[in-house]
């Protein structure tokens, strides 16, 4: 999973603590499995943090003010934080 997003696994683990909306399932072997909506949310957060250069707190604020669907749209490439 982390490899497909090109994110280190420790970053995903940290983001799970900072963004409670990321709720992966844990399979029998202890691996995290992410639903499609979680992937879009993670990609949206990744874009906000790494491309738009928001801090974690700033990304949380965007999520709170604009909503989860807006951040997922960023993750799908359908929206931009600056074009809002």
Contacts of 9 (CB under 8 A, 6+ apart): 2
- Residue 82 in any domain: the answer is no
Q: Coil, strand, or helix at residue 64?
A: helix
- Residue 61 in any domain: the answer is yes
- Residue 33 in any domain: the answer is yes
- Residue 51 in any domain: the answer is yes
Please tell me the total count of domains within the chain: 1
Alpha-carbon separation of residue 83 from 43, 46, 80 (angstroms): 17, 17, 5
- The pTM of this model reads 0.89
- Residue 81 in any domain: the answer is no
- Residue 83 in any domain: the answer is no
Residue 83 above 60 pLDDT?
A: no
Residue 84 above 70 pLDDT?
A: no
List of E strands, the chain: 25-26, 32-33
- Residue 84 in any domain: the answer is no
Give 27-70 pLDDT, tens digit per residue: 999 999 999 999 999 999 999 999 999 999 999 999 999 999 99
Range of the domain at 8: 2-76
Spatial CA neighbour of 11 closest among 68, 61, 49, 37: 49
């Amino acid at each position: 999973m982390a490899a497909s997003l090109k994110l280190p696994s420790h970053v995903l683990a940290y983001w799970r603590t900072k963004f409670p909306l990321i709720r992966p399932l844990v399979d029998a072997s202890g691996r995290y499995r992410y639903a499609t909506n979680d992937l879009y949310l993670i990609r949206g957060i990744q874009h906000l943090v790494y491309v738009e250069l928001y801090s974690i707190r700033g990304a949380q604020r965007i999520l709170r003010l604009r909503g989860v669907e807006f951040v997922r749209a960023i993750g799908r490439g359908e929206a931009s934080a600056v074009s809002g």
